[in-house]
Every structure is written in structure tokens, then in C-alpha cells.
Amino acid sequence: MLKKGVFLFLVLFVTMFVASCSKMSKKENSSQNFVMPSDKLKVLSTTTIIDDLVAKIGKEHIVHTSLITGQLDPHSYELVKGDDDKISNADVLIYNGLGLEHGASLKYQLENAENSYAISDSMQADEAFIFVDGQVDPHIWMDLSLLAKAVIPIGKILAKYDPQHEKQYMQNARELEKSMLALDKHIEASLEKIPKESCYLVTSHDAFYYFTRRYLAKESERSSDEWRKRCRAPEGLAPDGQMSPKDIGAIVEYALSYGVQVVFTESNVNQDALRKVVKIIKQKGSLADLSREPLYGDTMGEVGSGAEGYLKMMKYNSRIIVEHLCKNHEGSLL
């Protein structure tokens, strides 16, 4: 029995090792392809979300990759070995802006490159952006109708550097914009299923303000600041700060006042703060638990997660929120 067990363990280990090597190899190939000589337009994005939009607009006419991969935190990303090569090989560099990429080494490159473009520059600040404690919230991708405003401008940027394929870029951009606006309406309708008394979202960090304003709040709340009461997080706009007992206490108080029974973990954020929140709520005699599955706030999911690709990520997040908050309303814990 022992030998059989050891054999099965070895088979499992080898399978996981080969799968891991294969995944790593694909990532390396993607980066290597980018720095190899090519006649195609080379587009480097900071995040995988922007890279996904660029890929759908550029299709076969471009070579593309992103600097910040996997579940790395885009807020505090600093350049690593190999990034300089990617940047110097890029014809165009596209980033989010609004202070998302605030790691000093990356910020310096973005601000000083003549071929860098922030997608947030294509949006009207007064109507679009959310401010938290005087700081602009960079998580614009959480509202499909808002990020859709960046799609045609991305098409124009690609066309500026590669006029030969302008027609295809603009056609692809228009199709992507249409898909994003259709999904925006679909998610809006899906989230209307959640009773408004359950529409209170507690997440790890402040990544879901745009999502809340667009999809969780009542129409009447959007024109004022009333919608803000519908989401809270113990960590701020960037999940890289230290939390005080006061921060945790504020979330517990919020959860108890609005009857929040589930708090949503995020794929790339440590769960310690939310575990403390749940523990204290339970000590106070109320129901609380972590979400069964994490939300994707700052990053897309890995292949097989159901959240790979920007549109899939938005669908996934909406499904998880509907499932959990609807059960919450029925009074059953997950």
C-alpha cells in the first residue's frame, strides 16, 4: 500500500512539475517573442487587462505583451530584470494612469517615454472618475461602460503607429466596444436580481467603487454620493498599506449595521484582514463568513479560473456577487 501511495505521489508530483514548466515556458515564450525582431507593431501594456483589450484590437497585426503578469499587484509594481528590454523594444506603451502604476521605477518610465499613452486620458474626468479621500480611484476597468470609452482611442493609437492596418484596428475596436457595452447591460440586469437591502459589498481593498456605482447602487443614488454606502474594504485604494485595529473595527461596524453576512476575498490580496473581520463579527454573535471563491479586483484569473480575459473576469465577478448576496438575503450562510 505504501509503495502504491508513493508511486501515486510521484506521478502527481511529476504531472504538476511538467504542467508548471509548460506554463512557465509559455510565459517565457510570450516575453521572448516580444523582444525578438518582428515587422509587426509591438505594443506593451502595463496590466494584463489592458493587454487583453489591445490583443482584441490588434489581433494578428501586432505583437503584444504586458509587464505586470499573474496575480502581481499593479499598484506597487517595480521594474524587474527583462522589463527594460521589453520597454526599449516597444513601439507603443499603454498604461492605465490615475496613479495605478505608482511603483517609482515604472512610473518614471511611463512619465518619460514619448510613446506612452494612458487610457484614462480618453475619459472625461468630471463625469467619470471617483475620488476617495481626495485621491483619484484608478480601478476604472470595474465599470464596463467606462472602460469602453478607452477602446476606440486604443484603436487610433495603433493606427497612428501602423496606418497600413488602420481599417482593421478601428473595425476590431468598434466590435470590442459593442461587446463591452452589451455585457455592461447584461451585468446590470443580472445584478438587479439582488434585493437592494442585500447590496452591500465588503471586499479586501477599495477596488470595487466603480463596480458598485454602476451595478449595485440604485439609480437615484448614482447622482449623489449615496451609492458609496454600498461598499467598504479594510484596505485602501492600493492593498499595500498597514491596517490598524481601527480600520478593522470600522468594517465590523459597517457589516453589523447593514447585516452583511459574507465578505469577499480577492485573488491577489492577503486574507488576514478579512479573517479578523469575520472572527470579530462571529464573536459579537452575528453570522459572517468569507466568500467561497475570490473576486478578481486588480488582475484577471489564470487559465482555467473562468476569469481569464477581461470580459470573462467581469462575468465571473458578477456571478460570484449575485450568488453570494442572493443567498445572504435568504438568510443562509454559504
Site string for Fe ion, 150-179 (x = CB under 5 A): ------------------------------
CA–CA dist 261, 254 (Å, integer) = 11
207 sits near Fe ion (criterion: CB under 5 A): yes
# chain residues binding Fe ion, by CB under 5 A: 2
The residue with its CB nearest to Fe ion is 298
Question: Which CB, 158 or 201, lies closer to Fe ion?
Answer: 201
137 sits near Fe ion (criterion: CB under 5 A): no
**Smallest distance from Fe ion to CB 160, Å:** 30
**Smallest distance from Fe ion to CB 332, Å:** 31
Site string for Fe ion, 286-305 (x = CB under 5 A): ------------x-------
Question: Which CB, 221 or 298, lies closer to Fe ion?
Answer: 298
Beta pairing partners, 136: 131
CA–CA distance from 276 to each of 16, 77, 245 (Å)? 33, 27, 10
Question: Which CB, 159 or 207, lies closer to Fe ion?
Answer: 207
Interior/surface letters 252-280, b for 16+ CB within 10 angstroms, e for the rest: bebbeebebbbbbbbbbbeeebbebbbeb
Q: Is 229 exposed, middle or buried (0-12, 13-18, 19+ CB in 10 A)?
A: middle
**Smallest distance from Fe ion to CB 84, Å:** 25
Per-residue 3-state assignment (H helix, E strand, C coil) for 92-117? EEEECCCCCCCCHHHHHHHHHCCCEE
231 sits near Fe ion (criterion: CB under 5 A): no
Residues in the chain: 334
Question: Which CB, 117 or 210, lies closer to Fe ion?
Answer: 210
Question: Which CB, 236 or 259, lies closer to Fe ion?
Answer: 236
Q: Which amino acid is at 193?
A: K
**Smallest distance from Fe ion to CB 150, Å:** 17
* Residue showing cell 488576514: 272
Cβ proximity of 98 and 129 under 8 Å: yes
- Residue 19 CB coordination number (10 Å): 10
**Smallest distance from Fe ion to CB 241, Å:** 12
**Smallest distance from Fe ion to CB 298, Å:** 4
**Smallest distance from Fe ion to CB 118, Å:** 16
Report the site for Fe ion in 37-96 (rule: CB under 5 A). Answer: none
**Smallest distance from Fe ion to CB 333, Å:** 28
Q: Which amino acid is at 51?
A: D
Question: Which CB, 165 or 213, lies closer to Fe ion?
Answer: 213
**Smallest distance from Fe ion to CB 141, Å:** 10
Question: Which CB, 177 or 298, lies closer to Fe ion?
Answer: 298
* Segment interacting with Fe ion (CB under 5 A) among 52-60, 119-127, 185-193, 203-211: 203-211
Q: Are strands 92-95 and 116-118 parallel, antiparallel or unpaired?
A: parallel
Among candidate residues 205, 271, 199, the one with its CA nearest the CA of residue 235: 205
In angstroms, the first-to-last Cα distance of the chain is 37
Backbone dihedral region for residue 82 (phi beyond 0: left; psi -120 to 50: alpha; all else: beta): left
Question: Which CB, 90 or 269, lies closer to Fe ion?
Answer: 269
Those residues with Cβ within 8 angstroms of residue 97's Cβ, 6 or more apart along the chain or in another chain: 118, 119, 120, 121, 138
* Segment interacting with Fe ion (CB under 5 A) among 50-58, 199-207, 253-261, 272-280: 199-207
Question: Which CB, 58 or 297, lies closer to Fe ion?
Answer: 297
The footprint of Fe ion (CB under 5 A) covers 207, 298
